[in-house]
């Protein structure tokens, strides 16, 4: 694998809360593990439906504080709404 940093998943807004798509979060975690071990990225498992992960839960899964997560996502432009993201993926 290249020495490129894994790209943090883009945050989304859903009903006023910041969320991440489960598939994006899992991909990021796989990339972190692959980079740390020098291995390759495993293929993602097929899922029936996409789920959302609240920012607080994502921070817990990644082992970082909510404040650190806030600093990371501060670098993104405004979080797009879930509706806008799904429309852009469907097009």
pLDDT band, very low/low/confident/very high, at 77 (cuts 50, 70, 90):
low
What six digits make up the tokens of 41?
């990225």
What six digits make up the tokens of 68?
């650190």
pLDDT band, very low/low/confident/very high, at 64 (cuts 50, 70, 90):
very high
- How far apart (Å, rounded) are the C-alpha atoms in residues 59 and 68? 8
Residue ranges of the domains in the chain? 12-90
Longest dimension (CA), the chain: 39
Determine the number of helices (DSSP H) and then strands (DSSP E) in the chain: 4, 4
Tell me the mean pLDDT in the region 5-24: 91
């Amino acid at each position: 694998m290249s020495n490129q940093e894994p790209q943090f998943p883009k945050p989304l807004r859903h009903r006023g809360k910041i969320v991440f798509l489960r598939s994006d979060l899992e991909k990021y975690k796989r990339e972190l593990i692959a980079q740390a071990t020098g291995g390759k990225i495993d293929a993602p498992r097929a899922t029936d439906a996409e789920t959302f992960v609240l920012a607080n839960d994502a921070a817990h899964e990644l082992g970082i504080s909510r404040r650190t997560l806030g600093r990371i996502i501060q670098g993104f432009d405004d979080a797009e709404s879930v509706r806008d993201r799904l429309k852009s993926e469907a097009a």
